């Protein structure tokens, strides 16, 4: 994780770096720093523990220059202290470096090359900049020293390096961590994410793994690590400045929850034509058709979205679906079917665990599809095919609209494949119509937010533990609902198959334990879940029910409009997103930036 921003050749470097860091803060927020320089040897290095606002408070008008690099950190090596915050400097202070990623052989580098060096902190990054400085001391040019270091360093990294004796250049390189060049008029930028540069430019250039870029105010020179020139076209980003603002919302999470009906409609217009015909890329459809098994690989919320879509995909396509936790499969790939197809579900398209699986799949010649919200992201570039979520930037750390968009995108894919297979269920499923109903159902749930806010105050204000229970798809929604609640409210919460509770876990239920029950399946299933509710209520649980219209009974707490069963996971999750939001708010927590977390998890 961590976020990097750099600019060369713009007199407002400090402002550009600070604005960029504010936009990158979702990537890590335990400490931050900037280095700004105008002419040789005049650089200023300012660091701070805490949020970007804490760093801003330390920056006076004297911190100015035309070249600079900045960093917001999510600690991997060493605690969140000023000494460990980036940028880091070489032994003499001549070189200044920011880094995102993990250098795997940093201890070996320290022993082999840096005897006698005194380090200020405990980070792997400091070792990298000392290494470069040492090679220059040994007589290499800066570029040669950087290249030599890149040949030695193993692991994931995005680097931006400034030489205080020549502040007209930023040296950049990356491997497995995201980094992008932004092209300005008379200046150039480098950044982990286009969002942080969009105020300055919409012209970008990708950097691929193991490429080195020498960036000056009017030149971008891309080479491989052996110095061979690489031709790279610039592209125009579709992003809009208004997409990344919070508007009048107190938190991004609430804005993103509210955007979900729009996202559903956007997906309809993207993946269906005016007559309702599905327009998913035929090459993707064919590739899925040819598979004897679909493997969905993902992490966290995206993994939960895969589960919530499993039975819909199986019913519509007639192809079995298996789910894999990306961080497990990267190293423990199970026995696969004869003709597998891998689907990588990832909001960011940058998750290192998912990428690890994709690298293996590519090596094994397995066709792959990345379903992501970020065009041009690593997973999208490296998979055989890509489908975009078109959900607009998701900035709150807790994912909401990406989850629902993933299920909807998978519905379009499944319908297209099922139709191509001549499956009755797919031919009869009017997805465009049903998804419009889902959009309305979401709107109806959103209009009930005040009711939900009150229910949460009664139920979750002081509790340390809670359970979500459900059967079938409701169980999968319960998994996501509990992840959302624990990540932003810090309430320990488990999503449980309602019928499984009595096989052990029910011993945790005591007077006042909150149990949130989800009911959207058939009458029979609903009756069983209600039986499980009775069991926990009899043991003192404080129960809240979220029930689909038609299955509701007197006394239910939240009733969700009925939608097509394939899509019920989307409508059922909405109240649970609001429950998590209000629980976090009522506890006085930072809803958008929960502790210890970061948005794009680019380390394994």
Positions touching ligand F6R (CB under 6 A) are 299-302, 346-348, 351, 354, 398-399, 487, 601
Residue with smaller CB distance to ligand F6R, 296 or 417: 296
Residue number with the shortest CB distance to ligand F6R?
300
- Tell me if 593 sits within 8 A of 25, measured CB to CB: yes
CB of 399 to ligand F6R, least distance (A): 3
Catalytic residues: 2, 599
H/E segment holding residue 352: helix 352-363
Residue with smaller CB distance to ligand F6R, 47 or 390: 390
Per DSSP, the three-state class of 40 is coil
Number of neighbours of residue 555 by Cβ within 10 angstroms: 7
Distance CA 535, CA 546 (A): 17
Residue with smaller CB distance to ligand F6R, 63 or 391: 391
Residue with smaller CB distance to ligand F6R, 13 or 379: 379
| Exposed e or buried b per residue across 462-495, where buried means at least 16 C-beta atoms within 10 angstroms of its C-beta | ebeebbbbbbbbbbbbbbbbbbbbbbbbbbebbb
CB of 49 to ligand F6R, least distance (A): 24
For 245, the token pair is: 């603002």
CB of 344 to ligand F6R, least distance (A): 8
- Residue 368, sorted as left (phi over 0), alpha (psi -120 to 50) or beta, turns out to be beta
Residue with smaller CB distance to ligand F6R, 354 or 404: 354
Residue with smaller CB distance to ligand F6R, 207 or 374: 374
CB of 255 to ligand F6R, least distance (A): 15
CB of 302 to ligand F6R, least distance (A): 4
CB of 143 to ligand F6R, least distance (A): 34
User: Apex CA 438: angle with CA 435 and CA 442, to 5°?
Assistant: 145
CB of 301 to ligand F6R, least distance (A): 3
Residue with smaller CB distance to ligand F6R, 213 or 398: 398
For 293, the token pair is: 């098994």
Closest CA to 570 of 278, 253, 312, 271: 312
When computed from its CA atoms, the radius of gyration of the chain, rounded to whole angstroms, is 25
Closest CA to 124 of 96, 161, 86: 86
Sheet holding 293-298, edge to edge: 321-325, 293-298, 340-346, 368-372, 385-388
3-state secondary structure 198-253: CCCCCEEEECCCCEEEEEECCEEEEEECCCCECCCCCEECCCCHHHHCCCCCCCHH
Per DSSP, the three-state class of 78 is coil
First to last CA, the chain: 10
């Amino acid at each position: 994780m961590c976020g990097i921003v750099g600019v060369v050749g713009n007199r407002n470097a400090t402002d550009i770096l600070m604005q960029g860091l504010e936009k990158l803060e979702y990537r890590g927020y335990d400490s931050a720093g900037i280095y700004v320089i105008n002419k040789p040897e005049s650089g200023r290095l300012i660091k701070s523990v805490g949020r970007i606002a804490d760093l801003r408070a330390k920056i006076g008008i004297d911190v100015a220059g035309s070249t600079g690099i900045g960093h917001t950190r999510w600690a991997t090596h060493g605690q969140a202290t000023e000494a460990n915050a980036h940028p880091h400097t070489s032994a003499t202070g001549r070189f200044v470096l920011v880094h995102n990623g993990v250098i795997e052989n940093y201890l070996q580098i320290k022993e082999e090359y840096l005897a006698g060096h005194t380090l200020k902190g405990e980070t792997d990054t400091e070792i990298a900049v000392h290494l470069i400085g040492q090679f220059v001391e040994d007589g290499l040019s800066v570029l040669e020293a950087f290249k030599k270091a890149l040949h030695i360093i193993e692991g994931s990294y995005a680097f931006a390096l400034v030489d205080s004796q020549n502040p007209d250049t930023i040296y950049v390189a990356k491997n497995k961590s995201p980094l992008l060049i932004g092209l300005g008029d008379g200046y150039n930028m480098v950044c982990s994410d286009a969002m942080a540069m969009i105020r300055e430019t919409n012209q970008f250039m990708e950097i691929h793994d193991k490429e080195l870029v020498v960036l000056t105010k009017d030149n971008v020179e891309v080479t491989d690590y052996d110095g061979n020139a690489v031709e790279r076209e610039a592209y125009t980003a579709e992003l809009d400045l208004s997409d990344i603002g919070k508007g009048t919302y107190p938190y991004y999470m609430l804005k993103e929850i509210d955007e979900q009906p729009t996202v559903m409609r956007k997906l309809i217009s993207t993946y269906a034509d005016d007559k309702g015909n599905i327009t998913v890329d035929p090459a993707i459809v064919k590739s899925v058709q040819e598979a004897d098994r679909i493997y969905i690989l993902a992490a966290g919320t995206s993994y939960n979205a895969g589960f919530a879509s499993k039975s819909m995909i199986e019913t519509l396509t007639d192809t079995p679906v298996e789910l894999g936790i990306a961080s497990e499969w990267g190293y423990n790939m199970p026995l696969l079917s004869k003709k597998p197809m891998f689907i990588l579900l990832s909001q960011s398209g940058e998750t290192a665990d998912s990428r690890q699986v994709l690298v293996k799949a590519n090596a094994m010649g397995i066709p792959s599809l990345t379903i992501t919200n970020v065009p041009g992201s690593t997973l999208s570039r490296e998979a055989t095919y890509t489908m975009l979520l078109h959900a607009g930037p998701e900035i709150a750390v807790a994912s909401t609209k990406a989850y629902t968009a993933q299920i909807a995108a998978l519905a379009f894919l499944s319908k297209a494949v099922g139709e191509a297979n001549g499956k009755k269920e797919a031919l009869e499923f009017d997805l465009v119509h049903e998804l419009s109903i889902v959009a309305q159902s979401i709107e109806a749930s959103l209009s009930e937010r005040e009711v939900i806010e009150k229910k949460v105050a009664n139920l979750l204000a002081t509790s340390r533990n809670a359970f979500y229970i459900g059967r079938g798809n409701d169980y999968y929604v319960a998994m996501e609902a509990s992840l959302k609640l624990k990540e932003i409210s810090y309430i320990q919460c488990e999503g449980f198959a309602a019928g499984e509770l009595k096989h052990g876990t029910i011993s945790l239920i005591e007077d006042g334990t909150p149990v949130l029950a989800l009911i959207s399946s058939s009458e029979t299933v609903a009756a069983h879940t209600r039986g499980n509710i009775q069991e926990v209520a009899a043991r003192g649980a404080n129960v809240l029910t979220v029930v689909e219209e038609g299955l509701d009974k007197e006394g239910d707490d939240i009733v969700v409009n009925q939608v097509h069963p394939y899509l019920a996971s989307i409508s059922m999750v909405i109240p649970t997103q609001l429950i998590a939001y209000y629980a976090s708010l009522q506890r006085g927590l930072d809803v958008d930036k929960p502790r210890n977390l970061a948005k794009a998890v680019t380390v394994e």
